[in-house]
């Protein structure tokens, strides 16, 4: 049986990890590490986690006692957290949910953890840099075309994110009075996930890809990301559809469908759902994921399963909420 | 291994049953019965259920091939559905989610299925009438006081329900344009659940109880019920709190807490969370449940587990959605 | 023509005052005072106010240049604000939206500004303490019964408030991720508005009234308050209805209706809508207001109109948003 | 003083017209025509319209008694409604809110009513075809570039609409349980507004324009449209910004801003707010309007004002709701 530690367990992604891991069939024990909450009951922060019998946050742990460590600190904190807790990727498997080791120039031995695309590398990885939420939806949408070397034209991306994407700390744009019934564009063409997306797709394409015109949008919902992507491509819909279905064959969490998709098909699950259409010379791909699961903590557990040789979906048969 | 059929599987409660039962560890097969959807893929109606490999609705089934039948028809339909499908409570266990057999005068052998309160009767029942959603929250809040015969004063109840409580058929009061950011009282003092609540509490009290002043409210949320109840009682908070915790000791799904509660603590789970306060001579009990789970399909599975001698929480360790 | 100043103009109630006052037909000029925003464009804070041609916040003003000052500081700040800006109720009319002068023991010459109930006092007032939002809905619901001296029994009140009631500063309970689809009880039986409600109703009753059991609830909506109140009363519905309609005759903003009411009937208006029912010996009154208008800035302008001898609804024929 | 009739006054756009027109300073009388609601109180359908003193819907009217008729029937009904009510554009001014007369091939004498762009034609028009909601946001965003003949490249448009865009009749995609927290693409590249958009922009361009790749999105909000448009253009941001501000100079309702925009800046107003950015060779224009006002009934009143020689913003200084 596996033992894990979650560093930064009081935040959004840490909480999601606790929700998944506490009922994971292959995990016998977990440590929820939070410096600022050490000694407090987990249920005093994650108030829906009612069945842990008073289990508390710890402020430290012994890396020798665990098989996997999840890093859920803020962006830029991972190196410090590793030092502080004495973590070394040669001694314990690490899955980092921040962006700190996602880019090749500073990967430090971390493998980029887009599970379906880099499965073989992840299986043997000592450490994984878990992808960003926008990055996951966009990369899953485009990976098959990258493999086909069809990403040369400009790529037009609009993706809409819920409020949990902005993190736990209350701010003006997550104030209920502001966000309810509201919608807005932010960081157009300049979102920080573009870099990891570009690296993945260039790698798969074995060369440069077209310019990505990415418009991120804040939406009045809590969980999830929907991305709408179109670019010029000669091939017909039948070929593309078949290729996508073949590409994701055997992937339990990626569903290529012929119907229209909507966000609540995947909320509270590790699934991605995707539909493809053709309009004249443009292909159009719509993809939905839950940003906290497939876009963060769910994919992190999926990566852990791959690293440990467990069933890929162990602990991840999650009941969708749908409504 | 257990086999079950769900009649009325295309509706809200039928869909929730499918979501729970498809991953229930003790169920090997299920039939999703829908006359109007026979032959259609389940995922074409419940579009989030992506992992059933094309499984379709059936329009009929052989009761001899199943151990338990769930009736998810409209109120007033259960007798007809039983005739149409050749169901007899001496031949197959039945759990009815409608209100048709909840009242003593027309129970027809069905046991009222408030799991925590009538566990011993449910364990040996051939058939169970599953409680209403408001009724579940209110009865769980008051059952301990009923047992103590403290329900003589007038009982003041306000309970607020989400839009799924109004069912799948679109109507004026579930139109997004109307319901978003809106709230309203309906059927004050006359809600149909009062009858089953009164029967349960009178039974536990071994006598009449006070008048229930119940104000139901429609809220701008999808899932869940919160009830706020107060009545006059002499005992102090410590005694009441201890008694409640003792009363629900060993109940995996009912959590009596000393903190304030809120609805999202229980959404997408079979839990009830409850807090008790005292204000002068009044006791005040707040309770939250997910109306589709503890208030309907989750409690139905819990009752099935009890009837079949399974672990009470088998299939019901559901990941809360929280956000 | 009238000139006014709004102190604390960058907050929620200050912003609502600007929205109303900028198109008020009797106001020729207004000063929006905000120490922390002095010199910044009003539209940089209240981003919907697009038609002020670059008008900025001021950090001070000369009281001699205005006819009315609105105080929109935090609770407890009003005395300081008056000192700082050199305000004296013998020199300039003041309308305070905080709770600082609402109670008799510290009214300092301010008249309690429940417009429909204390109209004659307000007309001659030098200064008005504008009522709280919960207080307005509850007092309007009970004032006629107070006048009838029918408030001796215990009074059961549940009232649900939107997120703007919690103010502009982001906090945990106004985080979109928390509040969306959520609902919760807070400060049961102990809300600070009870004191002003009790004073008003005792005054109207000419004596003590029954105990008020007030359960405030946080709802997942932005604007508005709905209150549901019941108490024992012998009189029949016809009498009560007639009395209420007579009591509010000629009041442009209070609507006693025979239909069910819902919150969005009044959002973005200065209206209160109210329905009355009888259930056995209990009367039940449901009332909806917009907390920022009739519950704050709208009533403040109504009071200004009364104080200045203007049409009571001048500037307050506001288009409801309804959806 | 002006008298008007609204045909189809029980629907969403009819209701919005009533809300605006009842307080319009130049309108002395209006008839709310609804065949199915003749004789019923207006406030029984539009339950927020509390101040009409029992005014009822009529099922017919005499065109000779009015100056302007608004047609608010369904798409395809306008010719029938005109026949049924004996309307002739040579005898009474008509403003049609349906799409029936928007296209040149079937305009029947109706002038396309994009107020800011075709003001001079509208001023002398006998009849106006009021633009669609998506069409208004998109056309206002692109009209200046059309005038500059810069619309040759492919034009990438994503626009997100609220639930009121889908009309009053409850349907699956406006069910609160479905739409809350949900988002979805529909009719990608094939929305029916493309035709009127293309005609306007081609007219202004004096020639063909590039292909419009328009992805409409359904969002979880009630009112409003946000559009995000990008296309290749050589000119720099300063020139474009200046040109837009010059183009819309003197337009009271169109605001070109240097800040980021969000939907609630314009909700419950007739405003459009727009921001322009440049990213490499792409220009990016974001625009927000209220679909029921600037996208329907507000622009209809603006057109009426123009046709009658009234102040363009008469009756349209509407208080935004903001929260």
In a domain, D186, yes or no: yes
What average pLDDT does range C189-210 have in this prediction? Answer: 96
CATH number at residue A195: 3.30.360.10
Residue A223: list chain D partners with CB under 8 A: 181
| Total tally of structural domains belonging to chain C | 2
Q: What was the pLDDT predicted at B53?
A: 87
Of residues A13, A196, A20, the one with CA closest to residue A110? A196
- Residue C318 in any domain: the answer is no
Distance from CA of B323 to the nearest CA of C (A): 5
Say if the Cβ atoms of A223 and B317 lie within 8 Å. no
pLDDT digits (tens, 9 = 90+) for A127-161: 999 999 999 999 999 999 999 999 999 999 999 99
- Please tell me whether residues B100 and B172 are part of one structural domain: no
pLDDT at D240: 98
- Is residue B319 within 8 angstroms of chain A, CB to CB? yes
B200 plus B271 within the same structural domain:
yes
Q: What is the mean pLDDT of chain C?
A: 97
The residue-averaged pLDDT of C275-289 equals 98
> CA gyration radius for chain A?
19
Q: Among B162, B174, B181, whose Cβ lies nearest the Cβ of D175?
A: B174
Token pair belonging to C197: 């409600």
Residue B177 Ramachandran class (φ > 0 left, ψ -120 to 50 alpha, else beta): alpha
- CA gap D112, A177 in Å, rounded: 37
Residue A68: which domain range? 2-131+296-308
Q: Which residues of C touch D53 (CB under 8 A)?
A: none
Q: Considering only alpha carbons, which residue of chain A is nearest residue C46?
A: A178
Q: Are residues A164 and A125 in the same domain?
A: no
Asked if the C-beta of A171 comes within 8 angstroms of chain C's C-beta atoms, the answer is: yes
The answer to whether D320 contacts C47, with C-beta atoms less than 8 Å apart, is no
| A53 pLDDT more than 90 | no
Tell me: do A108 and A151 sit in the same domain.
no
B31 in Cβ contact with B6 (< 8 Å): yes
Is D75 a domain residue?
yes
- Looking at the domain assignment, is residue B322 inside a domain? no
Among chain C residues, CA nearest to B189: C279
8 Å CB contact of C176 and A174: yes
Q: Are B61 and B204 in a shared domain?
A: no
Shared-domain flag, residues D51 and D162: no
Asked if residue C317 belongs to a domain, the reply is no
Residues 6+ apart with CB under 8 A from A105: none
| Closest listed residue to residue B67, CA positions, set B314, B307, B315 | B307
- Please identify every residue of A annotated as catalytic: 133
D273 part of contact set with chain C, CB < 8 Å: yes
A23 → closest Cβ in B15, B267, B317: B317
* Tens digits of pLDDT across chain B (323 residues): 999 999 999 999 999 999 999 999 999 999 999 999 999 999 999 999 999 989 999 999 999 999 999 999 999 999 999 999 999 999 999 999 999 999 999 999 999 999 999 999 999 999 999 999 999 999 999 999 999 999 999 999 999 999 999 999 999 999 999 999 999 999 999 999 999 999 999 999 999 999 999 999 999 999 999 999 999 999 999 999 999 999 999 999 999 999 999 999 999 999 999 999 999 999 999 999 999 999 999 999 999 999 999 999 999 999 999 99
pTM: 0.97
Q: How far apart are CA B228 and CA B210, in angstroms?
A: 17
A164: which chain B residues are within 8 Å (Cβ-Cβ)? 323
Q: Which residue of C175, C179, C296 to mutate against A (max A Cβ within 10 Å)?
A: C175
The Cα-based distances of B165 to B191, C282, D177, D297 in angstroms read 13, 27, 9, 34
Cβ neighbour number for residue D65 with a 10 Å cutoff: 11
List all residues of chain B from 182 to 241 with a beta carbon under 8 Å from chain A: 222-223
Q: Using CB atoms, pick whichever of D189, D230, D264 lies closest to residue A213.
A: D230
Residue C193, token pair as written in the block: 């508005």
User: Residue D53 has what pLDDT?
Assistant: 87
Q: In this complex, do C259 and D47 lie within 8 Å of one another by their Cβ atoms?
A: yes
ipTM: 0.96
Residue C7 pairs with which residues in a beta bridge? C33, C71
Is D164 among the domain residues?
yes
Q: Is the pLDDT of residue C320 over 90?
A: yes
Alpha-carbon distance of D319 to D301, in angstroms, equals 16
Contact D48 C19 (CB under 8 A): no
Contact status of C163 with chain A (Cβ, < 8 Å):
yes
- Report how far residue A192's alpha carbon sits from residue A197's, in angstroms, rounded to the nearest whole number: 10
Query: Are residues C159 and C286 part of one domain?
Result: yes
Give me chain D's average pLDDT, please.
97
Is residue B318 assigned to a domain? no
User: Count of CB contacts below 8 A, C vs D?
Assistant: 86
Position of tokens 């449910």? B122
Are the C-beta atoms of residues C17 and C297 closer than 8 Å to each other?
A: yes
Collapse the DSSP code of C13 into the 3-class scheme (helix H, G, I; strand E, B; otherwise coil) and give the result.
helix
Q: What sign does the CA torsion over D228, D234, D235, D236 have?
A: positive
Are residue D302 and residue D221 in the same domain, yes or no?
no
CATH number at residue C9: 3.40.50.720
CB contact under 8 A, A228 and D182: no
**Nearest Cβ partner of A323 from B49, B164, B269?**
B164
Taking 70 as the pLDDT cut, the residues of chain D under it are none
Q: Domain check: are B284 and B301 in the same one?
A: no
Nearest to B184 among C184, C261, C279 (CB): C261
| Cβ neighbours of residue D114 closer than 8 Å, sequence gap 6 or more | D131, D135, D136, D139, D140, D143, D200, D299
- Residues of D within 8 A of A323 (CB-CB) are 177-178, 180
**Alpha-carbon span D249 to D256, nearest angstrom:** 10
CA distance C207 to C71: 32
Q: Is residue D316 part of a domain?
A: no
Of chain C, the percentage scoring pLDDT greater than 90 comes to 99
Q: Nearest residue on chain B to D219, judged by CA atoms?
A: B176
Contacts of C177 in chain B (CB under 8 A): 323
pLDDT at A169: 94
What are the chain A neighbours of D323 within 8 Å (beta carbons)? 177-178, 180
A209 and A238 co-located in one domain: yes
Q: Which SS3 state, helix, strand or coil, does residue B150 take? A: coil
- Nearest chain D residue to B222 by CA distance is D177
A68 shares a domain with A203: no
Catalytic annotation present for C133: yes
Residues C117 and C234 reside in one and the same domain: no
């Amino acid at each position: 049986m596996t033992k894990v530690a979650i560093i930064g367990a009081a935040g959004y992604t840490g909480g999601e990890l606790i929700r998944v891991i506490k009922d994971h069939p292959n995990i016998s024990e977990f440590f929820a590490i939070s410096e600022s909450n050490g000694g407090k009951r987990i249920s005093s922060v994650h108030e829906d986690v009612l069945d842990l019998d008073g289990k508390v946050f710890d402020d430290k742990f012994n890396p020798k006692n665990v098989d996997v460590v999840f890093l859920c600190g803020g962006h830029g904190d991972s190196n410090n957290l590793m030092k502080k807790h004495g973590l070394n990727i040669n001694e314990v498997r690490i899955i980092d949910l921040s962006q700190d080791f996602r880019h090749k120039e500073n990967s430090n031995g971390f493998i980029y953890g887009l599970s379906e695309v880099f499965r073989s590398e992840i299986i043997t990885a000592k450490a994984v840099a878990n992808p960003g939420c926008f990055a996951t939806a966009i990369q899953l949408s485009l990976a098959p075309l990258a493999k086909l070397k069809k990403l040369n034209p400009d790529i037009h991306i609009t993706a809409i994110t819920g409020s949990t994407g902005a993190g736990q700390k209350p701010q003006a744009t997550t104030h209920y009075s502001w966000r309810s019934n509201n919608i807005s564009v932010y960081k157009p063409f300049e979102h920080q996930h573009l870099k990891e997306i570009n690296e993945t797709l260039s790698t798969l394409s074995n060369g440069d890809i077209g310019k990505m015109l990415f418009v991120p949008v804040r939406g009045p919902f809590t969980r999830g990301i929907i991305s709408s992507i179109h670019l010029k491509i000669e091939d017909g819909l039948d070929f593309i559809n078949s290729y996508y279905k073949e590409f994701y064959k055997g992937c339990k969490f990626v569903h290529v469908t012929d119907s229209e998709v909507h966000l609540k098909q995947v909320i509270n699950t590790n699934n991605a759902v995707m539909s493809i259409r053709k309009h004249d010379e443009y292909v159009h791909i719509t993809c939905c994921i839950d940003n906290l699961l497939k876009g963060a903590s769910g994919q992190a557990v999926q990566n852990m399963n791959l690293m440990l040789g467990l069933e890929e979906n162990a602990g991840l048969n999650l009941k969708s909420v749908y409504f």
